[in-house]
Amino acid sequence: MICLTLSQQTLEEDAELVRSNRAYIDMAELRVDYLGEEEQKKASLFPSMVDIPVILTLRRKEDGGLCTLTERHRRNILLDALDGDFAYVDIEEDVKRAEVEAKARKRGVRIIRSFHDFNGIPEDIFSRIYKLAERGDVAKAAVTPHSVADLLTLFRISDELKDVDKIIIGMGEWGIPSRILYRRCGSMLTFASSGDAIAPGQITAKELKTLYRADKVSGKTAIYGIIGNPVYHSSSPQIHNPGFQAINYDAIYLPFLVDNIRSFFALAEYLKMRGFSVTIPFKAQVLMFLGRISREVKQIGSCNTVVRVPGMWKGFNTDYYGFLSPILRDIESGRIKTALVIGAGGASKAIVWALRNRGVKVTILNRTLSRAADIAALNLCEFDTLENARKYEGTVDLVVQTTSVGLYPDFDLNPIEGFRFTGREIVYDIIYKPKMTKLLSEAAAAGCTLHYGEEMLLEQGKLQFEMFTGYHYPRGIGE
């Protein structure tokens, strides 16, 4: 179940949020601590204002809520609210509230026994959850993972405590996969926001329902993802999830923030993942965990796609093909014979190799000359420093920008500031946020033909999709 957390100041505003998110949610949690004082007194009316089951919660400040009332006052508000037809009431682990409990049980309202840890994951988490659920209540643990290894602990709970009704939430940025794959954590629900998350790491109900189809995930769902650090800016979930839906493949693709690549492989094995994309800074680090690599990975030394094959992981590089695809015709027709590649990082390695493989003459320009020299030596091309960029004005058919200069939020930067385009060049910036970088706008002003990073992203993603699923990427999505 996807449960919308309601954090408005009036009951009517909360009910309106339920109505506007109704297509994406199965339940709602009324956060009474967010209501104005007068509204709190009327909380019992709320379940009759909406057409879904509602959890009653009056969260204390120390548990991440807004309530600073005395315990006695808090108890009275809860008791009054329980006159309404709530489906659940949340009572914190350490609170002994015989009256609230008795009234809830008498009225058939199920109790959620919760604990929160904003600093980490308590060592005794398994026994605590077990104890919370002892009296037939739902155990809720909202804890804060700080690493991939912590995340794995949360997924293990589902196997260790199979028969316990529970809600497991990994808060903060490390916990996001536990919110999306809540059913693989054995959680009966996941909390979602309507836009402004009120708990760290909360995702919107719309995303959970329509992008991830989180409520449809079962033990059979194939899990894919992208690993990186940072990773949540990635658009790859928007490429793969709609593709899976279009071919009716029971699969999900989600971002994993990774600190330690070895721990991630342990998680990937545990979740029986079928494959994943790799982004900065793991494209080279991932190699030592692969049983097999493709010819391109061997040549480029960088892997952006990992697929499970019997007994091992196999690495591919789809960046080179994704890059090439939009300009392939121009290379084949002879329109592109020479290229200036700005940058000598991981992406540049794949790009230089792709161009050289197609017979294009390449010059690499980089801030750090030695890195340009290394790639040049491997691919038999020329190299120079960035400061000398203007020496190459008017000499090439293609200019490719592969550095991170100009990337969001540094919209106003251009790594070859002052470079004059003749208007005859094809100019390709592989940055995809923003689509129109400063370098591209200058090229556009000179009349050049442009290619955007998002074209490369989509093309490399389509090829990954084929490797993941064995099917062509469906037409008409993301184009």
User: Active-site residue numbers?
Assistant: 283
Helix (H) or strand (E) holding 153: helix 148-160
Give the nearest distance from C-beta 443 to ligand NAP in angstroms.
Answer: 17
Residue 140 or 451 having the CB closest to ligand NAP: 451
Q: Which of 82, 297, 456, 463 is close enough to bind ligand NAP by CB under 6 A?
A: 456
Q: Which of 24, 432, 465, 473 binds ligand NAP (CB under 6 A)?
A: 432
Its sign, for the CA torsion 443, 447, 453, 454, is positive
- Which residue number, 65 or 343, has a Cβ lying nearer to ligand NAP? 343
**Which lies closer to ligand NAP via its Cβ, residue 79 or residue 467?**
467
Least distance in Å: CB of 27 to ligand NAP? 38
Query: In the bound complex, what is the minimum distance in angstroms from residue 224's beta carbon to ligand NAP?
Result: 17
Nearer to ligand NAP, 181 or 303 (CB): 303
Give the interface segment with ligand NAP, choosing from 97-105, 175-183, 246-254, 453-461 (CB under 6 A): 453-461
* One-letter amino acid of 145: P
Within residues 318-337, the interface with ligand NAP by CB under 6 A covers: 319, 322
d(CA 418, CA 434): 20
According to CB under 6 A, which one of 114, 153, 193, 402 is a site residue for ligand NAP? Answer: 402
Rounded (10°) CA dihedral 343, 345, 349, 354: -50
Residue 404 as a binder of ligand NAP (CB under 6 A): the answer is yes
CB under 6 A: which stretch of 141-149, 201-209, 401-409, 463-471 binds ligand NAP? Answer: 401-409
| CB contact at 8 A, 170 and 151 | yes
Smallest CA-to-CA distance from 443 within 413, 428, 421, 418 is with: 421
Cα 372 to Cα 211, 359, 383, distances in angstroms: 40, 19, 6
Q: Which is nearer to ligand NAP, 201 or 343 (CB)?
A: 343
**Using rule CB under 6 A, residue 343 touches ligand NAP:** yes
Q: Which one, 117 or 454, has the nearer CB to ligand NAP?
A: 454
According to CB under 6 A, which one of 460, 465, 468, 469 is a site residue for ligand NAP? Answer: 460
- Find the part of the chain contacting ligand NAP (CB under 6 A) among 62-70, 111-119, 153-161, 340-348: 340-348
Q: How far apart are CA 381 and CA 394, in angstroms?
A: 18
**Chain residues 360-389 in contact with ligand NAP, contact rule CB under 6 A:** 366-368, 371, 386
Residue 417 has a CB neighbour count (10 Å cut-off) of 13
End-to-end CA distance of the chain: 32
Name the closest residue to ligand NAP (Cβ): 345
# residues near ligand NAP by CB under 6 A = 27
Q: Is the dihedral of CA 431, 432, 433, 437 positive or negative?
A: positive
Collapsed DSSP state (helix, strand, coil) of residue 343:
coil
Can you tell me the distance from the alpha carbon of 51 to that of 49, in angstroms, rounded to the nearest whole number? 7
Identify which of residues 52 and 373 has a Cβ nearer to ligand NAP in the complex: 373
How far is the C-alpha of 46 from the C-alpha of 144, rounded, in Å? 31
Is residue 305 near ligand NAP by the rule CB under 6 A?
no
3-state helix, strand, coil in the chain (%, to 5): 40, 20, 40
Q: How far is CA 448 from the centre of its chain?
A: 35
Q: At what angle do helices 125-132 and 148-160 cross, to 10 degrees?
A: 40
What single string gives the DSSP state of each residue in 73-107? HHHHHHHHHTTS--SEEEEETT---HHHHHHHHHT
Cβ 431 to ligand NAP shortest distance, Å? 5
Give, as ranges, the residues between 203 and 242 that touch ligand NAP (CB under 6 A): none
The residue ranges that bind ligand NAP (CB under 6 A) are 280, 319, 322, 343-348, 366-368, 371, 386, 402-405, 407, 415, 430-432, 453, 456-457, 460
